[in-house]
Amino acid sequence: MQNRKETILKFLKRSLFSLLFFLISLKSYTQDSLSVAIDFTEEKELKFQQFFFTALSQKSIGNYQKAIENLESCNQILPNNKSVFFEFSKNYLYLNNTLLAKEYINRAINQDSKNTWMQKHLVKVLEKENNFFEAIKIQQKIIVLNPKENKNLVLLYLKNRDYKKALSFIKTLEEDNLLSSDLRRIKERLEKTNYSETQKVRVSKDIYKRFETEKTYTVLKQILIASKDKPKLLLKFCKEGIALFPAQPFVYLINGSTLNVNKEFKKALEILQNGIDFVIEDAMEVLFYKEIALAYKGLNNKVEERRYMEKYRKLVN
């Protein structure tokens, strides 16, 4: 009788844990379209579930290194599992280790090349590296699998300062009746700010002279856009531009971005925090959050860097 009770108790404990694991995994992976396929002994299955559940729990409270340790135990029990690789990549990205984050997500994608959630995560890793060129290539693949992901491609073009391609892609979506209200606002903004090729003015000595006598925001903007590879000029005209047009967020953004490139992170942060108050569009706001996060990263303030990266991700997603 006693043995029978112990057997039933053991069965109930295992059933309860399996149910708990299933619910947690379902919540975690519904968005990722992944499941853990397990086919081995009950003892190993239980151990795998325990380590995997603990990894998810530790990640949820920000103990990313502890989560990785539990995932390593999972990998020893069941090597080369794509779900484990995916979780490895997420935790390494939270730890700002983009090298390992990229390595593990690529391993996962090699096993499931059509999984859009893993592809989207790879885009986040590449964005963290400021590798917008590669991120755009991956996002283009995502759109083939899920056309609704077109907005992020536009945002990636904007982050890469490829305004011509952003506008061209938006017009293509408009022709196919796929233009959302957000993208319509971005299109209007791009056209108003003269980012299209037909409106873009080549910077020359004449335009600098023109700004000396015609200090308008339109002329200033043309100079800033076309001088993106000339940091000294950018800083000079941004300083003057903020004094003349203190409510134009684009000038603050260019100024802060240039200061980040120059590793003047404290100055960059001050400029960006002043400028974000004037932002009214999501497309511009997301760029500010990314630059602010970079400034905090340069200042080794991981708490604030993580906070602004979360704001950035919410707008991107």
Q: What are phi and psi of 157, to 5 degrees?
A: -60, -40
Tokens of 42: 């009950």
Higher pLDDT residue, 157 or 5?
157
Q: Which pLDDT score is estimated for 271? A: 93
Residue with token string 């009746």: 177
Exposure string (b/e) for 119-138, b if CB count within 10 Å is 16 or more?
Answer: bbbbbbbbbbeebbeebbeb
Q: Nearest 5 degrees, angle CA 230-CA 234-CA 235? A: 120
Question: For the domain 2-111, what is the CATH code?
Answer: 1.25.40.10
In the chain, where are the structural domains located?
Answer: 2-111, 234-316
Write out pLDDT tens, residues 29-48. Answer: 444 434 454 445 778 888 99
Cβ-in-10-Å burial (0-12, 13-18, 19+) of 1 comes to exposed
Alpha-carbon gap, residue 253 to 255, rounded angstroms? 5
Within this chain, domains 2-111 and 234-316 share the same CATH topology: yes
Residues 101/86, Cβ–Cβ less than 8 Å:
no
Residues 234/203, Cβ–Cβ less than 8 Å:
no
Alpha-carbon gap, residue 195 to 189, rounded angstroms? 9
Confidence band of 227 (pLDDT split at 50, 70, 90): confident
User: Is residue 117 over pLDDT 90?
Assistant: yes
Q: Which pLDDT score is estimated for 291? A: 93
Write out pLDDT tens, residues 304-317. Answer: 999 998 888 887 65
258-264 average pLDDT score: 92
Q: Which pLDDT score is estimated for 174? A: 87
Q: Which CATH number fits domain 234-316: 1.10.10.60, 1.20.1250.20, 1.25.40.10, 1.10.357.10?
A: 1.25.40.10
Which of these ranges, 103-117, 118-132, 274-288, has the smallest mean pLDDT? 274-288
Q: Which pLDDT score is estimated for 153? A: 92
Alpha-carbon gap, residue 270 to 256, rounded angstroms? 8
pTM of the model: 0.54
Q: How far apart are the first and last CA of the chain?
A: 57
Tokens of 99: 């090298």
Report helix angle 116-128 to 132-145, nearest 10: 170
Alpha-carbon gap, residue 262 to 85, rounded angstroms? 36
Number of CB atoms found within 10 A of residue 306's CB: 15
Higher pLDDT residue, 230 or 24?
230
12-16 average pLDDT score: 48
Number of CB atoms found within 10 A of residue 274's CB: 15
At residue 161, the 3 state secondary structure works out as coil
